[in-house]
């Protein structure tokens, strides 16, 4: 009998049903919709186990065809639905439905999934990019594709030389902890701690580093709710505290609902990182981490796009829109992939800037340079532009409120009389 894993996966993949409007006919025009029936699965599995435990001679005498296809067995189960359900007179062999919709004996307590597995479940699906992201107008571009001009300019700022280049080549070569991450099994938490202390700068001035946070789902632009997007839960992200906008507090309050990330008071984040272990047992890979980076960085872009939407209402050609692009990194203890994400028209795009082999001293130095330049960009040019945008919106709101107040105020009698006298003269 053929293995049942592909069928079960198709039934379990509830994140994006195949009966989406117009999508089902394109993917599989003649295929009937699959309806999951837990009681049939239970009967099917039970019969399969009985066939395995029964001697071959007994199975052949009973007429059970070991080469029967799965659809025949499922049809047979449909005619014998009562076999899959316990009756009141039967012993207490009740079943419960687990989180995935499968029947398991009620006596076995469900094991709580780890935070890492729960976080990686949706982004681990093989069709997450081709279905979930695509339907929601989010695309991961090929690394060889040409960047738009404004993104190329931003990348140029990220790779320029620094006055403080970081550790020397010899220091990197002699770093025993760095070499151990290539030679031994190292936990994800150890990898994260190492690079957060050696490469990624901490909170400095008005740029704050937030670790292991949950970002509100509303920050991700989900166009089709039938194809779910992973809720951002970055291992590390850079953004701003409220104190960064003390002079623009009124505007910040007016944006409170639109810009609220629900994550440790982080405001308008711009640089996220996802760490993965290479121990072979954790439910993660750099492909999964890259999918997580999509959600993290798209949320960053989407939040700043909301500020641009307000700026467009001013309808002034002298008002400059903000650069809403954001960066993200998917990395292990041996490799890092730097991505940039931006919005163009109604779609979002993420593309790899470059990769780094972290045990190579020159790559390590280059990685250090990119990370610190991106944080400096967020602390300097990006923050300044956002403050100017808030100031511009504040002036616009004041002018608009003044115009509305004048329109609501009736002319005084004295003014009306004086105007009448002038008209008579």
Query: Could you say which residues of the chain have pLDDT below 50?
Result: 1-15, 18-36, 38, 40-41, 44, 48, 51-96, 98-116, 118
pTM listed for this prediction: 0.70
**pLDDT tens, residue by residue, 182-192:** 999 999 999 99
User: For residue 226, what pLDDT is reported?
Assistant: 86
Positions of E strands within 87-144: 95-97, 103-105, 138-140
Rounded (10°) CA dihedral 290, 294, 295, 296: 80
Nearest by Cα to 157 from 272, 352, 327, 390: 327
84 vs 129: CA distance, rounded Å: 37
**Dist CA 58 CA 336 (whole Å):** 58
Partner residues linked to 330 by β-bridges = 274, 337
* Interatomic CA distance for residues 298 and 317, integer angstroms: 27
How many Cβ atoms are within 10 Å of 355's Cβ, its own excluded? Answer: 16
Residue with structure tokens 């029967």? 68
Sequence-separated (6 or more) residues with CB below 8 Å from residue 14: 101
- Alpha-carbon distances of 1 from 8, 38, 52, rounded to whole Å: 15, 20, 11
Residue ranges per domain, the chain? Answer: 5-111, 116-404
Q: Would you give the DSSP letter of residue 363?
A: H
DSSP letter string, 208-241: EEEES----GGGS--S-TTS--PPP--SEEEEE-
| Residue 140, strand partner residues | 350
Rounded to an integer, what is the distance from CA 278 to the centroid of its chain?
Answer: 21
Across the strands, what pairs with 275? 331
Is 335 strand, coil or helix? Answer: strand
- Give the CA distances from residue 97 to residues 11, 125, 227, in Å, rounded to whole numbers and listed in that order: 14, 22, 23
What is the pLDDT, as a whole number, of residue 417? 55
Enumerate the β-bridge partners of residue 348: 138, 343
- How is residue 90 annotated by DSSP? S
Sequence-distant contacts of 278-282: CB under 8 A, at least 24 apart: 278/185, 278/186, 278/332, 278/333, 278/334, 279/185, 279/186, 279/187, 280/185, 282/116, 282/188
């Amino acid at each position: 009998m053929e293995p049942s894993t592909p069928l079960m996966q198709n039934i379990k993949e509830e994140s994006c049903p195949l009966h989406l409007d117009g999508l089902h006919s394109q993917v599989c025009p003649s295929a009937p919709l699959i309806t999951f029936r837990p009681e049939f699965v239970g009967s099917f599995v039970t019969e399969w186990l009985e066939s395995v435990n029964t001697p071959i001679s007994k199975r052949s005498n009973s007429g059970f065809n070991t080469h029967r296809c799965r659809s025949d067995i499922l049809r047979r189960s449909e005619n014998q639905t009562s076999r899959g359900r316990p009756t009141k007179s039967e012993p207490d062999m009740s079943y419960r439905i687990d989180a995935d919709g499968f029947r398991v004996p009620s006596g076995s307590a469900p094991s709580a999934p780890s935070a890492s597995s729960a976080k990686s479940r949706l982004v681990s699906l093989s069709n997450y990019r081709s279905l979930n992201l695509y339907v929601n107008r989010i695309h991961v571009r090929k690394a060889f594709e040409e960047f738009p001009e404004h993104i190329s300019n931003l990348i140029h700022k990220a790779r320029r030389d620094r006055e403080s280049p970081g550790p020397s080549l010899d220091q990197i070569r002699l770093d025993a902890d760095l070499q151990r991450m290539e030679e031994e099994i190292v936990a994800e938490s150890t990898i994260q701690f190492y690079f957060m202390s050696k490469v990624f700068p901490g909170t400095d001035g008005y740029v704050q580093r937030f670790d292991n946070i949950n970002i509100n789902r509303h920050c991700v632009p989900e166009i089709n709710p039938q194809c779910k997007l992973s809720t951002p839960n970055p291992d590390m992200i850079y953004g701003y505290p409220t104190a960064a906008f003390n002079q623009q507090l009124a505007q910040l309050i007016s944006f409170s609902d639109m810009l609220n990330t629900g994550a440790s008071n982080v405001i308008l984040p711009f640089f996220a990182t996802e760490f993965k272990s290479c121990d072979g047992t954790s439910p993660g890979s750099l492909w999964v981490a890259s999918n997580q980076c999509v959600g993290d960085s798209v949320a960053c872009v989407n939040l700043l796009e909301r500020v641009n939407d307000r700026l467009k209402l001013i309808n002034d050609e002298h008002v400059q829109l903000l650069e809403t692009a954001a960066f993200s990194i998917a990395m292990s203890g041996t490799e890092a992939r730097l991505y940039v994400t931006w919005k163009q028209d109604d779609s979002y795009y993420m593309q790899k800037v470059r990769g780094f082999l972290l045990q190579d001293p020159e790559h390590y130095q280059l990685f250090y340079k990119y990370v610190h330049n991106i944080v400096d960009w967020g602390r300097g040019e990006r923050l300044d532009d956002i403050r100017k945008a808030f100031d511009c919106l504040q002036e616009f709101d004041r002018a608009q409120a003044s115009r509305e107040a004048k329109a609501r105020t009736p002319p005084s009698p004295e003014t009306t009389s004086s105007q009448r006298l002038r008209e008579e003269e």
